[in-house]
Structure 1
Amino acid sequence: MSQSAIDIETYLSTYDQLEQAIEGLSEERLHAKAAPNQWSVTEVLAHVADHNLIVSFRIREILSESEVRLPAFTQDAWVEGQKANKGEAADILAAFRSLLIYNSQLFLRLEPEDWEKTGTNAKGETVTLSGVVRGFITHLQYHLQQIARIRNEQTTSSGLRGV
């Protein structure tokens, strides 16, 4: 087992954090939207699962030392195009967790120098493998706050308390 440049437990804990963030929400609240152009909690979950897919691809491109630019994605179009709000939170979280586990198994095989391998992102910036994974963890924290805001707005506007 090699030494990791990232804390794999912190990476894996993102699943537990998402699960806790939606704990106690009814199906109605998981799919409720404050406005047509705002995401529901289910759509936020779909977005972080999509982001996990893209990051998984970026990780592999960096490790392969590919010269291809790392992909970006149009998050709103992805969420809308896949009709994410019709999905089930449990199914989305299961896919998210599977990718976390699969990637963490890869991380355990890496050598310290692998974490410093680089790729070029869609903006033309050079990024390291460790930076991409840390960025994923940070990005997820933003969306946990987004879920908390949605929950709070739902409670404030409707008087609901976790239903």
Structure 2
Amino acid sequence: MIKLATTNIHKSIVMILETEYAPYFKQYLKLVTNEGKSIIENLEESQKEFDVVLRGLSVDKQNFSYADGKWSLKELIQHVIDTERVFCYRALCFARNDTTALPGFDQDIFVENSKTNSRVFNDVLDEMQIVRKGTIFLYKSFSKEALLRVGVASGNKMSVRALGYLFSGHQKHHLNIVKERYL
């Protein structure tokens, strides 16, 4: 179980049960635990930190890859964007009570076909900001009941609430990698 705050709808501390997410995602959810912050607060704060660290980097850093076969910094950001878009769709389906099991996605195929390295770095960062704003508005629209709904994606159960925290945890995870290996 992971202790987190709920969204701004309800500020009490809740427990996100291990049945609300696949075990793999615990590594991301742990990055936003014990802060007592809502989904919205986490989304806003993690995006702000992401932007502060990455805005204004030199062109050499923008196109840097720390090893052969590893993503460039632009591609890493695109991965965060693509993942958030895919997972927002999942959250929307689950919140709206769509019981259709959703497929997974291959992050490497997404990045390979994004052609992000030919894009302007600040455009990629701007896109991340816009996607995050959309996520925030989506989560502000969810009722308490919708946040507790669970659906299936990639063969695993996931709650709308867990997805809301997962966005920030996933972004923080990749920002930690950026700080360790790219800067």
CA shift at 1:109, angstroms? 2.6
Q: Is the 8 A contact 1:3 1:111 kept in 2?
A: no
Structure 2 equivalent of residue 84 of structure 1: 116
Output the CA distance in 2 between the equivalents of 1:35 and 1:41.
Answer: 11
Higher strand share: 2
Is 1:27 the equivalent of 2:59?
yes
Structure 2 equivalent of residue 147 of structure 1: 178
After superposition, where does 1:76-155 map in structure 2 within 5 Å?
76-122=108-154, 124-152=155-183
Check 1:13–1:88 CA distance in 2 against 1; reply closer, same or farther (3 A cut): farther
Output the CA distance in 1 between the equivalents of 2:131 and 2:10.
Answer: 21
Aligned AA for 1:38?
A: K
Is 1:38 the equivalent of 2:38?
no
Q: Map Cα deviations across residues 33-57 of structure 1 (whole Å, 9 max, x no partner).
A: 2333011111111110111111111
Q: Is the 8 A contact 1:30 1:41 kept in 2?
A: yes
Question: Larger C-alpha radius of gyration, 1 or 2?
Answer: 1
CA shift at 1:96, angstroms? 1.8
Task: Give the unaligned 5+ runs of structure 2.
Answer: 1-7, 12-36
Q: How many residues align?
A: 151
Q: Is the 8 A contact 2:39 2:165 kept in 1?
A: no
Q: TM-score, normalised by structure 1?
A: 0.82
Aligned AA for 2:139?
A: F
Q: TM-score, normalised by structure 2?
A: 0.74
Higher helix share: 1
Q: Percent identity?
A: 21
